[in-house]
Amino acid sequence: MEQSRIGEIEEILINAFPAVEREIYDGWILNFSSGYTYRANCIYPFYHSSYDLEEKVIYCENQYRELLLPAIYKMTSAVPKDLDALLKVRGYDNVKYVDVLYRSLEDWQIPQFKWTEKGYEIITMSQMDDEWLDGVNELIDIPYPSMEKIQKKIFQRIRLPLVCIKIRHQGKVIGTGLGVLERHYIGLYAIHVHPAYRRRGLAMKICSRIIEKGKLMGATQAHLQVRQGNTGAFLMYERLGMRKIYTQWFRMKSWPESKKIFD
């Protein structure tokens, strides 16, 4: 895949999930969010770099270690191969692989699938409310109150047009989804369904609604990320016409005092 498309989508992903704190260091973006998710606590070796590579890696290690965080790099095929090789030599392990999926919306049609709305209430919003934020927290089962606050802060920092979906059943949020619009792309995030309600078409309904609303807002393309190994999700996204265009991988080096990353 052409490097320009990877760079474009990666910039969009950065804007759609803003870390609590960020530092720019010679073209690299350092994200800090107290251990909530790899992508909000990692280094993006994104733009042109001029400093000595090993010097930069050592600087970043010191920045993260001082905050009791592991040093994590988000990598793609657009990142220079010599950096990946250096990180491997310095003891960075590959800890996570994520596929980025994409489709044009030029020929988008709502997929046909069985789903009954009886007993369910599907709500579409242009901004997040407390019920949506709390619903996401419960569905991903965040173990610490401090992490819940960080998650809410990250979502509330998004400054782009949104589509928020929540599905209620018996007064409880049992499904969520988020669409973020930028540069004619609608990105799909926070697609969660309570385990007791899976395999009922709810995730398909959420994603279809986000894409449909995104088109009305001017989107001509859609993208999302799915962790490798999540076969059920990947098959569902394939039914939406989404196809893998590139892979992200995360290299991590930790120390005995490092916090664990909640992802």
pLDDT in tens, 182-201: 999 999 999 999 999 998 88
Alpha-carbon torsion (73, 229, 40, 7), positive or negative: positive
**What share of the chain in percent tops pLDDT 70?**
97
The per-residue pLDDT for 48 is 87
Paired residues of 221 in beta bridges: 104, 185
Distance CA 149, CA 154 (A): 9
The per-residue pLDDT for 1 is 58
pLDDT in tens, 125-178: 999 999 999 999 999 988 888 899 999 999 999 999 999 999 999 999 999 999
pLDDT in tens, 203-219: 999 999 999 999 999 99
Rounded mean pLDDT of 11-27?
Answer: 96
Distance CA 198, CA 175 (A): 9
Contact in structure between 179 and 221 (CB atoms under 8 Å): no
Calculate the average pLDDT of the chain: 94
The per-residue pLDDT for 115 is 61
Domains in the chain: ranges and CATH: 3-97+249-253 (no CATH), 103-247 (3.40.630.30)
pLDDT in tens, 51-68: 999 999 999 999 999 999
Greater model confidence, 33 or 3: 33
Exposure string over 176-209, b if 16+ CB within 10 A, otherwise e? bbbbbbbeebbbbbbbbbbeeeeebbbbbbbbbb
The structure tokens 């894409």 sit at 211
For residue 27, which phi and psi values (nearest 5 degrees)?
85, -5
The per-residue pLDDT for 5 is 85
